[in-house]
Chains A and B, each alone.
Chain A
Amino acid sequence: MEFAELIKTPRADNVVLHRPFYLAVEGTLCLTGHHLIFSSRRQDNAEELWLLHSNIDSIEKRFVGSLGTIVIKCKDLRIIQLDIPGMEECLNIASSIEALSTLDSVTLMYPFFYRPMFEIVEDGWRSFLPDQEFELLSSVTDEWRLSCINKEFSVCPSYPPVVIVPKSIDDEALRKVAMFRHGSRFPVLSYYHKKNGMVMMRSSQPLTGTNGRRCKEDERLINATLRPGKRGYIIDTRSLNVAQQARAKGGGFEQEVHYPQWRRIHKCIERFNILQESLIKLVEACNDQSHNMDRWLSKLEASNWLTHIKEILTAACLAAQCIDREGASVLVHGTEGTDSTLQVTSLAQIILDPRCRTIRGFESLVVREWLQAGHPFQQRCAQSAYSNSKQKWEAPVFLLFLDCVWQILRQFPCSFEFNEQFLIMLFEHAYASQFGTFLGNNENERAKLKLLQKTMSLWSWVNRSEELSKFQNPLFEANSLVIWPSVAPQSLQLWEGVFLRWNRPSKFLDEAHEEMINIIKYNKELQAKVNALRRQLAEMETDDRMQENL
């Protein structure tokens, strides 16, 4: 297919762009296969806006006489308005945008066309390989092995080719366990707590069904992670009720009789359209400036967004607590083990593992616990807060995770190497990007799409010093401790950086951030100066002494 076929009017002049807190600008609008480009073309102060079609969540058009107006709502929650003279031009442009922002085929997406303008120092596709992760693990324990059982994605389509499993469990047993778990997602290692050797595993629900099926190999597998005489915890991210109902559809949960060494705790985390609706309601509340205080608070409450944040964080804290405080191993799962499970396992690692609070470590966490673990990004992030599609598979699961990370970052502002901008950047790229990283729903699909060969990795771009400097937290001081966030409602806040980003000017907050950076930078420079002076003085003193000795 040629993009040109979709672009009936590639260019329109005298278009007026409206954005909140900016003066309206007149200029030229151009449509390309992947971008909407607006240029003010003014000599003195040319302004350009480049918008990826894939970032467009919805568009609305309306007419007053022959002046058409297109309102574009983006997945990053920004809303812009274009006034386009001429009804035909406007209709053409609107229909082109609509078509181009909803392309069916992944291979038509921008990452397949994007040619990077920067020098690639490190290929991000090779930055976080499972072997490296395993090497780190084997330096502290020999109880685990790397299994290639899923090499051709033949055992579990949503798992990566290699996974870490207990050494004592052979591939044959794994195959049987896979049969017993939803979507074949058998329990694998998610995290090893060096401090006490406890582990966190994740999987999908067991297929016990109504007649209480059991699988000896499954029991053997997860028991293999227990220390003699110790109990483990199974954190089921569904309510007991939902878990019980799942049996009717062949799913279920681990029965006490068959897993006597495990204590099951149900922590309900919502999924799917409930989350998407929550996002839609929240963004609607944030965007409506006509609210009075009562209405705003009641809409904020009714969106339930912060309730979800609190639930997810609570479950993650619980998992972390079982591991660190109770000294017990943990298995986390919900139904498929691709959404709430990953929220819990990845957040628990941020709480427990200082490495995950570094930039590199956090990237590795996203790769391991989200991309390789098979969170279906393409389905979940197909639409954002302005969608009307109401597809069950669309849900801001990853955004909720990032929001939770932001909440912890706010409570421990000195413990993270990255800043809020880093999280916002990941949010943007998960929904629309020039990079291939978040395309596809799992490693299997990514392999089929040949993303490694055909697209650029987000990490190749981020991990260059020019970009990294934007994402560094000036307050960071490595903190090797476990960090326990508060989940009291008073401690949780609306993530303004995302949800109010386009609704209020940020000048004064930006200046504060700048000031903070300056204070810390100045101190560092001062320290360097003092050190240099000291050295100089010491050198001179030795010189003097040498001269005296001569």
Chain B
Amino acid sequence: FYTLFVLQVENVKLLDRYTNRKAANGTLYLTATHLIYVDASAEVRKETWILHHHIATIEKLPLTTAGYPLLIHCKNFHVAHFVIGQERDCHEVYTSLLKLSQPVKPEELYAFSYNPKMSKENREIGWKLIDLKVDYQRMGIPNGYWEITDLNKDYEVCNTYPPEIVVPRAANKAVVIGSSRFRSRGRIPVLSYLYKENNAAICRCSQPLSGFSARCLEDEQMLQAIREANPGSSFMYVVDTRPKLNAMANRAAGKGYENEDNYDNIRFKFIGIENIHVMRNSLQKLLEVCEMKSPSMSDFLTGLENSGWLRHIKAVMDAGVFLAKAVKDEKASVLVHCSDGWDRTAQVCSLASLLLDPFYRTFKGFMVLIEKEWIAMGHKFSHRCGHLDGDPKEVSPVFTQFVECVWQLMQQFPCTFEFNERFLLEIHDHVYSCQFGNFLGTCHKEREDLKIFEKTHSLWPFLLQKKQELRNPLYRGFTAYKELQPNTLPFSFQFWCGMYNRFDKGMHPKQCVLDHLLSCMSQKMKLEDNASELENKLPFLDGPLPSEACFLSKVGRAASKTPMLNTPQDYEGEPPPVLSNGASAGDIDVRSDVDQKHNENLSHHQDLRDLNDTIDVLDSEAKDGKPQHH
């Protein structure tokens, strides 16, 4: 058992930066994949698991009376403050973690060694769970105006696009190829979402190589083809999601934005979302605010303002709302780009789809959306999340911002999403965990080269298995709400404590409405079973009980919850592949110790079973909570 640890250090303290509780004292273990801290001082055995891939930074702080402090910041905003008795131990942990947390080669990533003991067939079924073609079919594509083309099957058009892309039928090969030469990195305009009710489409691309005056006939034809694929509108929008100044600066480098004079009937618009560097710095400032030790209200609000974080979130949301309105209200198609069209463009297009189409607010739909707009279209997860030791300037919380926008929508529209906040957090965790293949690499081609479809597992079936705890009990079903029109006034945006202070449980509501309602839901199923069982036992019924009338209406509505009424495909009917080994060890590595009660029944790495057998339910009652003031 112990030989499986890379390192084991006794007499390590774990400080709780939130309460003044006595620091935990225990043992720190390093395995090939995790840092595990076992608190020996607590009455119940308490473990903290940190996945090496989640570690963002490790700092050695100046010596204190208690020992040598080691501060670990995680990408999922977990902050662990250890104090180690011996300098030698501290240094050893430090250097080991540095190495373990920054793999150099992709093959070192967890996904390639992660083995949930699943059969080959099931693994393959898992990868086939999401089929983008089915989503295009749902939109009615191919149709008279749009086709799925394999022009990019050898990545000749664009090596960061998937092999199959959706373009206007009117755009022939020459137009596609011509346009690709005029777009940064060949990222030509392709369809992101078709709003079936009125044929208005959202398309996405990268910036044109227009410089100060260059034009390209094929590119102009491409835009014309997109506009004409929506005969209901005489114009289309071209939205540049960058601040105007940034776009203008790009002209000097031979890039830039579309000249309204060169393209027929386009309405050009800038939406100022800042670039990845601004966003990275903004998050950094936000996290500093979140980590302040006992800040005043003023400190916090001023810090929140100065971080600019919510301003950026609002900018992304505003852009998504603009797109959705253009499509729905003005019935106009929109072409969106930023610089390369893989960061801001992905945020904005996926948000607009989410606002327009209730399908994307279901479990399955949200997975499709991420696969389509983020993974397939070449959002560079590997660089943005810093999966490998690389350029820190490439790291940026672009996907985090998208996830937050979805959360902000959940606050405004609590009954419109099939899933709850935990689903978002799970996905966010796994974007960084590298435990599953989905988010590895930077684009489809790279994932093929890495053989992720052969060598790794897909995240989605694992999440679907946990549907019961990830669902939103307030969800009113697929047909209850169509388009969403969020309020984007500043006061509509809240600080997301559940994300950025997620591991500071003391800050969260001590009783959780979600848990309460989820237990209601499972209780409901049991009661319904009980009721029908009892009814069967009774030879006859004396007519309905007084309360039954309202049951029926409720059951009637529950039936309409099946989100498939409007769609050609029976997504819900298709069961996720049965996993032979239940959930994964990954279920535990992304959680803090306090979350472990959810994992009681899950199996873990075999070699760690001894550890996990003893996990106890923690933090169950308010009586454990202590006042944290003064």
Cβ A491 vs Cβ B547 within 8 A: no
Q: Residue-by-residue, is A56-88 near B (CB-CB < 8 Å gives 1, otherwise 0)?
A: 000000000000000000000000000000000
Q: Is B559 an interface residue (CB 8 A)?
A: no
Q: Residue-by-residue, is A281-324 near B (CB-CB < 8 Å gives 1, otherwise 0)?
A: 00000100101111111101100101101100010011011000
Alpha-carbon distance A413/B508, docked complex (angstroms): 12
Q: Residue-by-residue, is B486-520 near A (CB-CB < 8 Å gives 1, otherwise 0)?
A: 01011111110100010010111111010011001
State how many angstroms separate the Cβ of A71 from the closest Cβ of chain B. 21
Contacts of B308 on A, CB cut-off 8 Å?
294
Q: Say which one of A327-335, A370-378, A452-460, A477-485 lies at the interface with B.
A: A477-485
Cβ A504 vs Cβ B487 within 8 A: yes
Alpha-carbon distance A301/B547, docked complex (angstroms): 50
Cβ B535 vs Cβ A533 within 8 A: yes
Cβ A413 vs Cβ B305 within 8 A: no
Q: Is B290 an interface residue (CB 8 A)?
A: yes
Closest to B292 in A: A489
Interface residues of A, dominant DSSP:
helix
Contacts of A309 on B, CB cut-off 8 Å?
297
Cβ A490 vs Cβ B507 within 8 A: yes
Q: Is B66 an interface residue (CB 8 A)?
A: no
Q: Is A529 an interface residue (CB 8 A)?
A: yes
Mark out the residues of chain A between 482 and 522 whose CB falls within 8 Å of any chain B CB in the assembled complex. 482-494, 496, 500, 503-505, 508-509, 511-512, 515-516, 518-520, 522
Alpha-carbon distance A485/B295, docked complex (angstroms): 16
State how many angstroms separate the Cβ of A243 from the closest Cβ of chain B. 18
Cβ A490 vs Cβ B538 within 8 A: no
For B, the interface residue count at a CB cutoff of 8 angstroms equals 74
Contacts of B490 on A, CB cut-off 8 Å?
291-293, 295-297
Cβ B531 vs Cβ A489 within 8 A: no
Contacts of A300 on B, CB cut-off 8 Å?
301
State how many angstroms separate the Cβ of A548 from the closest Cβ of chain B. 16
Cβ A293 vs Cβ B310 within 8 A: yes
Alpha-carbon distance A492/B297, docked complex (angstroms): 9
Q: Is A3 an interface residue (CB 8 A)?
A: no
State how many angstroms separate the Cβ of A486 from the closest Cβ of chain B. 5
State how many angstroms separate the Cβ of B234 from the closest Cβ of chain A. 31
Q: Is B3 an interface residue (CB 8 A)?
A: no
Cβ B628 vs Cβ A533 within 8 A: no
Cβ A494 vs Cβ B517 within 8 A: no
Q: Residue-by-residue, is B116-127 near A (CB-CB < 8 Å gives 1, otherwise 0)?
A: 000000000000
Q: Say which one of A106-114, A185-193, A246-254, A534-542 lies at the interface with B.
A: A534-542
Alpha-carbon distance A475/B512, docked complex (angstroms): 10
Q: Is B625 an interface residue (CB 8 A)?
A: yes
Contacts A293-B314, A528-B547 known; A534 to B534 CB distance under 8 Å?
yes
Contacts of B412 on A, CB cut-off 8 Å?
508-509
Cβ B489 vs Cβ A491 within 8 A: no
Contacts A509-B414, A540-B538 known; A479 to B517 CB distance under 8 Å?
no
Cβ B491 vs Cβ A520 within 8 A: no
Cβ B629 vs Cβ A317 within 8 A: yes
Contacts of B630 on A, CB cut-off 8 Å?
314, 318
Alpha-carbon distance A483/B537, docked complex (angstroms): 45
Q: Is B600 an interface residue (CB 8 A)?
A: no
Partner of B305, one of A294, A318, A489: A294
Mark out the residues of chain B between 530 and 563 whose CB falls within 8 Å of any chain A CB in the assembled complex. 530-531, 534-535, 537-539, 542, 545, 547-548, 550-551, 554
Alpha-carbon distance A411/B510, docked complex (angstroms): 6
Cβ B18 vs Cβ A306 within 8 A: no
Q: Is B74 an interface residue (CB 8 A)?
A: no
Cβ A486 vs Cβ B506 within 8 A: yes
Cβ B510 vs Cβ A412 within 8 A: yes
State how many angstroms separate the Cβ of A282 from the closest Cβ of chain B. 11
Q: Residue-by-residue, is A407-440 near B (CB-CB < 8 Å gives 1, otherwise 0)?
A: 0001111110000000000000000000000000
Cβ A516 vs Cβ B517 within 8 A: yes
Contacts of B304 on A, CB cut-off 8 Å?
297
Closest to A290 in B: B489
Q: Is B473 an interface residue (CB 8 A)?
A: yes
A-B contact pairs, 13 of them (CB 8 A): A304-B297, A306-B301, A317-B627, A318-B627, A320-B627, A321-B629, A411-B510, A483-B510, A523-B520, A523-B527, A525-B551, A529-B527, A540-B538
**Contacts beyond the supplied A412-B511, A523-B520, A523-B523: 9 A-B pairs with Cβ under 8 Å:** A321-B629, A325-B627, A489-B297, A491-B497, A494-B491, A504-B489, A527-B527, A529-B531, A540-B538
Binding site for A on B (CB under 8 A): 18, 290, 294-302, 304-305, 308, 310-311, 314, 412-416, 473-474, 476, 487, 489-495, 497, 501, 504, 506-511, 513, 516-517, 520-521, 523-524, 527-528, 530-531, 534-535, 537-539, 542, 545, 547-548, 550-551, 554, 621-623, 625-630
